[in-house]
Structure 1
Amino acid sequence: MANKRLLIISPYFPPVNAADMQRVRMSLPYFKALGWEAEVIMVHETYVDMVKDTLLLKAIPNEIAIHKVKALPKKWTSKFGLGSIALRSLWYIRRKGNQLLKDKNFDLIYFSTTQFPVCILGPYWKRRFNIPYIIDMQDPWHSEYYQFKPKKERPKKYWFSYRLNKYLEPKALKDADGLISVSKAYIDTIHERYPILKEKPTSIITFGAFEPDFDIAKSAEYDSPMIYNQDDELKHLVYVGRGGNDMSLSLNLLFNAFAQGLKNEPILFNQLKMHFIGTSYAPKGKGIKTVAPLAAQMGLADYIQEHTDRIGFYESIKYLQNAHGLIIIGSEQASYTASKLYPYILANKPLLSIFHQESSAYKILSKCQAGQVIDITQGSAAVYQTFRSYIEDVFSSKQPLINWEAFKPFNASYLTAKQTAVFEQVINLYKQTRL
């Protein structure tokens, strides 16, 4: 029986180091064995001003057809306030998609990206080529979250993006044939807005753990030196990931515990330094710090270093491998999940995480017993007790006793099978409705 054909739309793709391409990147090695031949449409990396990591290409099977398209140059479109890769590449993705869907017999279209405006091609292609499509909700698309926040806390160009998303989301989602999401909360919101989608196949699938990445990282050589001195006598605690105002609650809990530790046991806590790396999506050298100002307000400027520039994916794994302890901070939103969650676990280092108790990340970390977990609703005394226990683990180099059996369902191969199960449901249901 011939494999089914899958067309994946992922504007960001290796060598671009973007969080929203990780699901596809980690799934591609397993699709064929599960009965699917995948092809990918991406935007050529020369049109993307994000960090590139050529090592990411090592994980892509050679037989996968990757179609690179152009985008309008940002230096032109930024004059009109349009920097979004989705908007700059939409026409080119549409043209390439038209060509591929006309020339080949694809069974399904899969939008796996947070560049959501490209998803409006789903209903267009469905009408033109009679092919169903799935949208992967890795983040909220249209959100009311910032509507009630002060203007200074809103993202740049919020006025435009809010209205664009509110207009495009229903056009793309109402006709979708299936949904995949990292968070049940995202799906619940979509079902509330568009009840018709309750009848369509849906699955909550987190990002996967891709163990080959650690072998690639270990064998790689990097030009840039470590941000901190590995040979000093300090204990270096590392977080690699974005910052932002929605992280302030987690950061306040963390920094308050640190400040209390300095007061209670200054000799011990003076040996610690925290490094927050890659906290901004802005181009190199243009990121605005969101972590360091909070640390300074609490008198911790000498202990907290923030590096806004993004780093390569495998370089981030290098930092996880070489740190004395790891920290993951989460958003105040229950729907938030961390794209780098599994590399933190696979690093098998003393680990402290701060998440909303209802978040998938909190539940996964707790289930796998992957270090110390703090719920953002906990009181300061409980937070400090957990933080102090974590510091003991750091100084004793105690690895967490991870439940690897509980971790198995989060491996990329297992989660790719969950995706293809949804694919099968979608195309079978679509055929039934066309009879």
Structure 2
Amino acid sequence: MKKKNFLPLFNPSLAKLKRILIISPHFPPANAADMQRVRMSLPYFKEFEWEAEVVTVDENYVDMVKDPLLLDSIPNNIIIHKVNAFSKKWTSKIGLGSLALRSLWFYRKKVNQLLKSKKFDLIYFSTTEFPVCILGSYWKDKFNIPYVIDMQDPWHSDYYQDKPKSERPKKYWFSYRLHKFLEPIAMKNVDGLISVSEKYINTLKDRYANLATLPAKVITFGANEQDFKIVQKNNDQLKLYYTPSTTKLNLVYVGRGGYDMRDALEILFKAFKTGLENEPHLFENIHFHFIGTSYAPAGKGIATISPIADSINISNYVTEYTNRIGFYESIKQLITSDGLIIIGSNDSSYTASKLYPYILAKKQLLGIFNEMSSAAKIMMDCNAGHLITFNDNQNEAYEKLHRYIISVKNQFPISTNFTAFEPYTASSMTKSQVELFNKVLISK
């Protein structure tokens, strides 16, 4: 009788895996910008000897555009825990809409249960729903587990303090004071920081003396080619928000608008108006499409781009679609375009994580960025397209726009250096994250 072959009870490769619990209130199928780092890192954690589980808010409580195809990019072996939240239907009556605040109690209860029943080496907050981060200090005291916070945006910020009320976010008075109170609670005992911007880390270190020697690392979001394969596979079910044309060039931007984009837009639109005056035969057959520019619910977004076009008298050449669209629909807009435009904030610390899909779309690309932004540096390092900076005068901006239009019209091949782009891929960015995680554990 033959002996049966049994798998060994002990697998040394699995024994090496460290375990991380990721706190990400937004998660697929919700199409939120702040869950993209987690989503694109999950396929690679095991490669770098980490095993991840995610705790997110049930999508039924999330007031955000849903894109079910996002689930196709999540590995089947990842354990996802879902928590409830207080219904916005009721909390909005007292002016409380924040997902972080609505889910805070449920997060505390669920993660307490998980930490009592399983061993995790680290808790990782990757979200712009920052108030949940105060639970890191609580769980560290209760379970002696270190935590890392991913600063994708500033938490407590003075950016809007000198701005007119009309340009401030809704409920700014309340949120400014709330964040000023909560941020120190989370930062008091944090063990490591990741950020998309060096400026965000430096601001926190200036604000909190205990962060001076803390492991910290600047890591932008990663570029994920797998997303383009998902679009190709599902192309027929994805909507296109403009009509392809043989007589016009459709130049496309997908992403948020906002008053902080005004400088970039004025540079672009004034250069375009100069083009209309100097070479109408070249510029009159161009149309700009700005898609998904508001985070507000469908039909309630406030246009922040078309008014600038109106003021420069080029509104016939510009269309703004304020409604948010699905993530993979966004990619379809990019790859179907004749050329791509990407605009940046007047805040030098702003990092345009959406730049990577633009580069992977392999179209002629024009970026308009603050010269000090990381996005400008990435475009230059990778030779990823035409770049206008805020330092350029009006004539320089026009000349660069002109060269870009010629490149689009003549379908010149792109000259992106994809070898230089390799450090910005999702795999490379995940490796950078786990290097910081390992450093946190060594320092304990």
Shorter-chain-normalised TM-score: which range?
Answer: over 0.9
**Is 1:119 aligned to residue 133 of structure 2?**
yes
- What residue is the counterpart of 1:243 in the other structure? 257
Equivalent-residue separation in structure 2 for 1:222 and 1:50 (angstroms):
23
Unaligned runs of 5+ in 2: 1-14
- What residue is the counterpart of 1:271 in the other structure? 285
| Letter paired with 1:217 | V
| Letter paired with 1:76 | W
| Residue 198 of structure 1, CA deviation | 1.7
| Residue 149 of structure 1, CA deviation | 0.6
- What residue is the counterpart of 2:8 in the other structure? none
**Is 1:16 aligned to residue 30 of structure 2?**
yes
8 Å contact 1:251–1:329 — kept in the other structure? yes
**Is 1:309 aligned to residue 329 of structure 2?**
no
**Which residue of the other structure, out of 382, 392, 396, is the alignment partner of 2:406?**
392
**Is 1:159 aligned to residue 173 of structure 2?**
yes
With over 3 angstroms needed to count, the CA separation of the structure-2 counterparts of 1:232 and 1:299, relative to structure 1, is same
| Letter paired with 1:209 | A
- What residue is the counterpart of 2:47 in the other structure? 33
| Letter paired with 2:187 | L
| Secondary structure of 1:145's aligned partner | coil
Equivalent-residue separation in structure 1 for 2:242 and 2:423 (angstroms):
35
- What residue is the counterpart of 1:433 in the other structure? none
Equivalent-residue separation in structure 1 for 2:241 and 2:78 (angstroms):
36
| Letter paired with 1:77 | T
- What residue is the counterpart of 2:247 in the other structure? 233
**Is 1:324 aligned to residue 333 of structure 2?**
no
| Residue 2 of structure 1, CA deviation | 3.0
| Letter paired with 2:278 | N
Equivalent-residue separation in structure 2 for 1:109 and 1:55 (angstroms):
27
8 Å contact 2:238–2:329 — kept in the other structure? no
| Secondary structure of 1:302's aligned partner | helix
- What residue is the counterpart of 2:82 in the other structure? 68
Equivalent-residue separation in structure 2 for 1:297 and 1:232 (angstroms):
29
- What residue is the counterpart of 1:378 in the other structure? 392
**Is 1:283 aligned to residue 313 of structure 2?**
no
**Which residue of the other structure, out of 219, 222, 244, is the alignment partner of 1:205?**
219
| Residue 222 of structure 1, CA deviation | 5.1
Equivalent-residue separation in structure 2 for 1:221 and 1:89 (angstroms):
35
| Residue 223 of structure 1, CA deviation | 4.7
**Is 1:262 aligned to residue 304 of structure 2?**
no
Equivalent-residue separation in structure 1 for 2:239 and 2:216 (angstroms):
44
Question: What is the aligned-residue RMSD (CA, Å)?
Answer: 1.0
Equivalent-residue separation in structure 1 for 2:116 and 2:334 (angstroms):
45
- What residue is the counterpart of 1:427 in the other structure? 441
- What residue is the counterpart of 1:182 in the other structure? 196
| Residue 422 of structure 1, CA deviation | 0.4
TM-score, length of structure 1 as denominator length: 0.97
**Is 1:193 aligned to residue 207 of structure 2?**
yes
**Is 1:50 aligned to residue 64 of structure 2?**
yes
8 Å contact 1:369–1:400 — kept in the other structure? no
| Secondary structure of 1:148's aligned partner | coil
| Letter paired with 1:95 | K
- What residue is the counterpart of 1:95 in the other structure? 109
8 Å contact 1:235–1:273 — kept in the other structure? yes
| Letter paired with 1:168 | L
Larger Rg: 2
Matches within 5 A, 1:346-385: 346-385=360-399
Equivalent-residue separation in structure 1 for 2:330 and 2:382 (angstroms):
22
| Secondary structure of 2:29's aligned partner | coil
Cα distance per residue 1:373-409 (max 9 Å; x no partner): 1111221111111111110111011232011111011
Cα distance per residue 1:53-76 (max 9 Å; x no partner): 111111111110001111111111
| Residue 334 of structure 1, CA deviation | 0.8
8 Å contact 1:222–1:315 — kept in the other structure? no
8 Å contact 1:211–1:346 — kept in the other structure? yes
Cα distance per residue 1:36-88 (max 9 Å; x no partner): 11000001111112111111111111110001111111111111111111111
Size of the aligned set, in residue pairs, is 430
| Secondary structure of 1:354's aligned partner | strand
Equivalent-residue separation in structure 1 for 2:228 and 2:238 (angstroms):
19
8 Å contact 1:241–1:277 — kept in the other structure? yes
Equivalent-residue separation in structure 2 for 1:382 and 1:142 (angstroms):
37
8 Å contact 1:280–1:287 — kept in the other structure? yes
Equivalent-residue separation in structure 2 for 1:184 and 1:310 (angstroms):
29
Equivalent-residue separation in structure 1 for 2:115 and 2:380 (angstroms):
44
| Residue 300 of structure 1, CA deviation | 1.0
Identity of counterpart residues, as a percentage? 60
Equivalent-residue separation in structure 2 for 1:376 and 1:310 (angstroms):
27
Unaligned runs of 5+ in 1: 431-435
8 Å contact 2:241–2:333 — kept in the other structure? no
8 Å contact 2:349–2:374 — kept in the other structure? yes
- What residue is the counterpart of 2:9 in the other structure? none
- What residue is the counterpart of 2:420 in the other structure? 406
- Higher mean C-alpha deviation, range 161-170 or range 194-203: 194-203
